[in-house]
Amino acid sequence: MKRDKTLFICSKMTPIKLYEYVFRWTDSLNDGDCIVCFNSTDMEAEVLKALLVRNIPTILFVMNNFTDTNNIQIERALQEKRLLIVVLRRNEPRGEGATPSLRNKYVLSICKHVVCGYVNKNGTVFSLLAGRNCVTSLIDENALMVAEPVVRHERWTVAQDKVLLRMYYDDMGIHAIHKCLNRTYAAVYARIHSITQPEELLKGREFEDYVLSLLNPKEEGPLVLQEWQGDKSFGTIKPENNSNPDFVFRYGQREFAVECKWREKLDRDLGKELFTKKRIDNYTKFSKERQICVTVFLGVGGEPCSPELLYVIPLEKVSDIVSHFLSIVEFRVHPESLDISAFLQTEELPKAYTFEEKRKDHKNAYKKWSQEEQERLFVLFQEGKSIDELTRIFERNRGAICSRIRKYTQNLIVRTVP
């Protein structure tokens, strides 16, 4: 921390044709330099890898916690004491407040010089550096007009793929692979994505492994894994069964399905990305066609292999959670106390009910709502009656009650907005 430091910074979405200009700078450095960088954009992540591969002393600033704990180059650099990781605590919830701005100002205050990669004039980096001295820009207006040279190569060989994969999984970065195989950055980037899984899929697969370890199916035992869906695609073409739940199990003579989801954090609007209508409709269709239950295992925070929070949610409860009629907290479970056999034995299989069968449990099921009933429902709901209480009062199922309240509240919003 006592050395003179140079900060590398760039905007998000750096065009790949500009990588060459940035890596010319990293190749010019020596072990007498000390570089400060973030790891919040693709370009910054690639620069960090290039610095570590070349043994350049580096200080990495991260917010709140450091998650890339299995990075081989980072682990090696820490052991050799040429990397310092500084974790800054966040004052506000993620995405809120001035914490990122305060982080940038603090880091700038301890650096003697700033080197910029690509800077978007409409972004925060441009305004942050405006009027500052000791700032070097690696990319000028002329560079933005020049494309990475098109180099025609023969097709990728198995030997080249092996080299690429070895360097990729050694976390050496796109620049080291570019120099080793003499391929353009665009070609290397495209090849990596064509023969490796995106990070989101890897995290999803990691959480699937975690769920399997919890359920612990056996080849010969009460719980047997029957099907395991793979998220495979060819470009934009995806098989229809990609939309099915991840697992199908057999427990004794019964079958049930499990969908696995892991998120770093939960959005306030769970229906926006996690539980979209299309996704829930697909699971519901699968459940009805196969006549088996579907349960969602949702991990939140931590790592996919060890989430901080675990929720086990029956599919029929998801819409109530999205509509805020139920709190997701009610479905939190502790992995060490998860009794899968008891959970399965009490779960009911979905059936194709007739109106008569439904009305054995709820006398008014599927009957048209009268105006008086609707008004009474809204009054009782506003008085604080629970959904379960309302189902007993009106002798209708939860779905009918929730749907009618949802329709009422949406209409109320429309009427009150000028």
Task: Give the pLDDT confidence of 260-305 residue by residue, as tens digits.
Answer: 999 988 887 888 888 888 889 999 999 888 888 899 999 998 888 8
Which single residue is written with the structure tokens 């769970």? 270
3 state SS of 287 = helix
In sequence order, which residues have a C-beta less than 8 Å from that of residue 358 and are 6 or more positions away?
365, 366, 397
| C-alpha triplet 361, 365, 369: angle, nearest 5° | 145
pLDDT at 387: 80
- At 344-385, the pLDDT tens digits run 544 444 444 455 555 666 777 767 788 888 888 888 888 888
Per-residue three-class SS string for 157-177: CHHHHHHHHHHHHCCCHHHHH
DSSP string for residues in 331-389: GEE-GGG--HHHHHHHPPPP----HHHHHHH-TTTTPPPPHHHHHHHHHHHHTT--HHH
DSSP for 101-153, written as a single string = HHHHHHHHHH-SEEEE----TTSHHHHHHTT-SSEEES--HHHHTPPPP----
For range 196-203, the mean pLDDT: 74
CA distances from 362 to 9, 349, 396 (A): 63, 18, 5
Q: Which pLDDT score, from 0 to 100, does residue 392 have?
A: 87
Task: Using a pLDDT cut of 90, give the percent of the chain over it.
Answer: 24
Give residues with Cβ within 8 angstroms of 146, minimum separation 6: 17
Bridge-based pairing of strands 254-263 and 247-251 is: antiparallel
Amino acid 54: pLDDT: 95
Q: 65's torsion region: left (phi>0), alpha (psi -120 to 50) or beta?
A: beta
Higher pLDDT, 114 or 220: 114
Query: Which range in 1-10, 27-36, 199-208, 361-370 is most confidently predicted, on average pLDDT?
Result: 27-36
Which of 179, 163, 165, 140 is CA-nearest to residue 23?
A: 179
What is the CATH number that goes with domain 6-148? 3.40.50.450
Task: Tell me how far apart the alpha carbons of residues 278 and 348 are, in angstroms, rounded to a whole number.
Answer: 24
Mean pLDDT of the chain: 80
C-alpha 284/C-alpha 292 separation (Å) is: 10
Q: Is pLDDT at 149 greater than 70 in this prediction?
A: no
Q: Which of 179, 197, 189 is nearest to 26 (CA)?
A: 179
Residues 6+ apart with CB under 8 A from 303: 67, 206
Distance CA 8, CA 229 (A): 42
Angle at which helices 315-322 and 398-416 pack, to 10 degrees? 20
**Class of 199-346 in CATH:** alpha beta
- Domain borders along the chain are 6-148, 199-346, 355-416
Q: Mean pLDDT lowest for which of 99-113, 172-186, 249-263, 401-415?
A: 401-415
